[in-house]
Amino acid sequence: MKQGWGFDTAAVHAAQKPDDKTGAISQSIVPAVAYAFPDAETAAAVVAGCQEGTYYGRYGNPTTRTLEQKIAQLENGEDSIGLSSGMAAISSALLAFLQHGDHVLVTRDVYGGTYNFITLLAPRFGITFDFVDCTDAEQVRAAIKENTKAIYVETPSNPRLTVLDLTMLSSIAKERRLPLIVDNTFMSPYLQQPLELGADVVVHSATKYLNGHGDVLAGFVVGKKEVIDFIRKRIAGDLGQNLNAWESFLILRGLKTIGIRMRTHCDNAMKVAAYLQGHPGVAQVYYPGLPAHPQHELARKQMRGMGGIVSFEIKGGMEAGKAFINRLKLAMISFSLGDPETLVQHPASMTHFSIPEQERQQFGITDGLIRLSVGLEDAADIIADLEQALLPGPDGAIRNDAEQVKSGH
Ligand SMILES: Cc1ncc(COP(=O)(O)O)c(C=O)c1O
């Protein structure tokens, strides 16, 4: 970390200082779209990228720039760009390396929006893809084609929490001179720094832990300056995917507490995972912090903490899964994650419903799978809520008819 700071200090201070004119410690919000220049030469130098500065809101903003510099420092990257959503960051990062005729190698279980972009939109522009089990180096090597131009992974993955070995993948990527792009949304730079492990580009949905309060939609790409400059000018700028000043301010505010938040998310998630693991109505728990997780040792090496997401398979399938989340009282049914509130969702009927059933099952997104984004409430209250909703029937499966259970029949 720059200046030898620890992460928590950098989260508060990196790229920020009191305002020169007013002394204001909290970040000023600059809503301006247009900027005045002292002369034509300066305007030309800024638009050409020869001089740092802001010239038009679609290509950057001073409040957003402070945040971009802070996130670049937290991820130990050269530069970063703030965009209007995580999907804007993911699509821009992929388009920075792919064009017509190219192929991308993608890890097997990815966020549903990423899956849609890769399988539905990218092929319309002549880009092909393969989903590969990226836990297996041999399968990755074998899937690289002559026209492969990028490797894209998510670790831990959404929603199965599969942990990928980023050192192994980055060495394969380097052997084949391919960029390795990593979605670090589930971890945040507090828990994992993919660039330090050899990745080339990091993408984030800042909608989740970076902002951490469920009131901003934003994304970031972090990497080499030339990649970020290209995205700013040729992709985000031309597609109009800029992040605005107000949302950047909110993320700057949220980021100051990221270390404290992540530690509590991790502590609570570990307690929840341990509780679920012992429940008779739960067939399987996916949490990298559990010694039974297939990549537990790798996770301990690669990650500073195990994160706030716990996925688990309840006995009883689709109907039991839906009935279970309907019975929760504290946890809210929601598509998002990384907020102070505990959020729950049923991937088969919610986030991953657009993936054809057979393919969904192949990715391990089974009908009884539940994803819990463990919040910042007291762990005991989260567990008590799960306890009252996990009602095993006589066959051990979770009951699927809430009304029947309520009326005692
Ligand atoms: C791992 C991951 N990456 C990317 C995204 C997309 O982010 P956004 O909704 O900000 O576009 C999500 C959204 O849930 C996600 O879970």
Q: Where are the domains of the chain?
A: 2-30+61-255, 258-406
Instruction: Evaluate if residue 406 carries a pLDDT over 80.
Output: no
**Which residue lies with its CA nearest to atom 10 of ligand 1?**
86
> pLDDT per residue over 196-228, tens digit each?
999 999 999 999 999 999 999 999 999 999 999
Residues 6+ apart with CB under 8 A from 279: 390
Instruction: Evaluate if residue 403 carries a pLDDT over 50.
Output: no
**Which residue lies with its CA nearest to atom 15 of ligand 1?**
111
Residue 382: predicted pLDDT: 98
Mutate to test the pocket of ligand 1, among 152, 153, 158, 164 (most ligand atoms within 8 A of CB): 158
Does ligand 1 come within 6 angstroms of the Cβ of 85? yes
Residue 341: predicted pLDDT: 98
Residue 66: predicted pLDDT: 98
Tell me which fold the domain 2-30+61-255 belongs to: Aspartate Aminotransferase; domain 2 (3.40.640)
Does ligand 1 come within 6 angstroms of the Cβ of 113? yes
- Which ligand 1 atom sits closest to the C-alpha of 351? 14
| Percent of the chain residues topping a pLDDT of 90 | 85
CB atoms within 10 A of CB 397: 18
Tell me which fold the domain 258-406 belongs to: Aspartate Aminotransferase, domain 1 (3.90.1150)
Helix (H, G, I), strand (E, B) or coil at 127: coil
Amino acid identity, position 84: S
Q: What average pLDDT does range 254-265 have in this prediction? A: 98
Kindly give the distance from the C-alpha atom of residue 156 to the centroid of ligand 1, in angstroms, as a whole number. 13
Residue 1: predicted pLDDT: 64
Whole-number CA gyration radius for the chain? 22
Instruction: Evaluate if residue 405 carries a pLDDT over 70.
Output: no
Residue 364: predicted pLDDT: 82
Query: Tokens in use for 213?
Result: 């309060």
Does ligand 1 come within 6 angstroms of the Cβ of 217? yes
Q: What average pLDDT does range 330-340 have in this prediction? A: 97
Residue 409: predicted pLDDT: 36
Residue 353: predicted pLDDT: 78
Kindly give the distance from the C-alpha atom of residue 191 to the centroid of ligand 1, in angstroms, as a whole number. 17
Instruction: Evaluate if residue 376 carries a pLDDT over 60.
Output: yes
- Which ligand 1 atom sits closest to the C-alpha of 158? 1
- Which ligand 1 atom sits closest to the C-alpha of 88? 11
Residue 317: predicted pLDDT: 87
Residue 370: left (phi > 0), alpha (psi -120 to 50), or beta? Answer: beta
Kindly give the distance from the C-alpha atom of residue 44 to the centroid of ligand 1, in angstroms, as a whole number. 37
For all residues of the chain together, what is the average pLDDT? 94
Instruction: Evaluate if residue 408 carries a pLDDT over 50.
Output: no
Query: Tokens in use for 171?
Result: 């060495």
Helix (H, G, I), strand (E, B) or coil at 255: helix
Kindly give the distance from the C-alpha atom of residue 150 to the centroid of ligand 1, in angstroms, as a whole number. 20
CB atoms within 10 A of CB 187: 26
Q: Is the peptide bond before 294 cis (omega within 30 degrees of 0)?
A: no
Kindly give the distance from the C-alpha atom of residue 42 to the centroid of ligand 1, in angstroms, as a whole number. 38
Amino acid identity, position 38: P
Residue 401: predicted pLDDT: 63
Residue 2: predicted pLDDT: 58
How sure is the predictor about 301, in pLDDT bands with cuts at 50, 70 and 90? Answer: very high
Does ligand 1 come within 6 angstroms of the Cβ of 183? yes
Half-sphere exposure of 92 (CA within 13 A, CB side): 36
> pLDDT per residue over 51-104, tens digit each?
989 999 999 999 999 999 999 999 999 999 999 999 999 999 999 999 999 999
Amino acid identity, position 83: L
Backbone angles phi, psi at 161, to 5 degrees: 60, 35
**Which residue lies with its CA nearest to atom 14 of ligand 1?**
336
Instruction: Evaluate if residue 127 carries a pLDDT over 50.
Output: yes
Does ligand 1 come within 6 angstroms of the Cβ of 373? no
- The residues annotated as belonging to the active site are 58, 111, 183, 208
How sure is the predictor about 49, in pLDDT bands with cuts at 50, 70 and 90? Answer: confident
> pLDDT per residue over 382-401, tens digit each?
999 999 999 877 777 888 76
> pLDDT per residue over 142-176, tens digit each?
999 999 999 999 999 988 999 999 999 999 999 99
Residue 115: predicted pLDDT: 93
Does ligand 1 come within 6 angstroms of the Cβ of 214? no
Kindly give the distance from the C-alpha atom of residue 180 to the centroid of ligand 1, in angstroms, as a whole number. 18
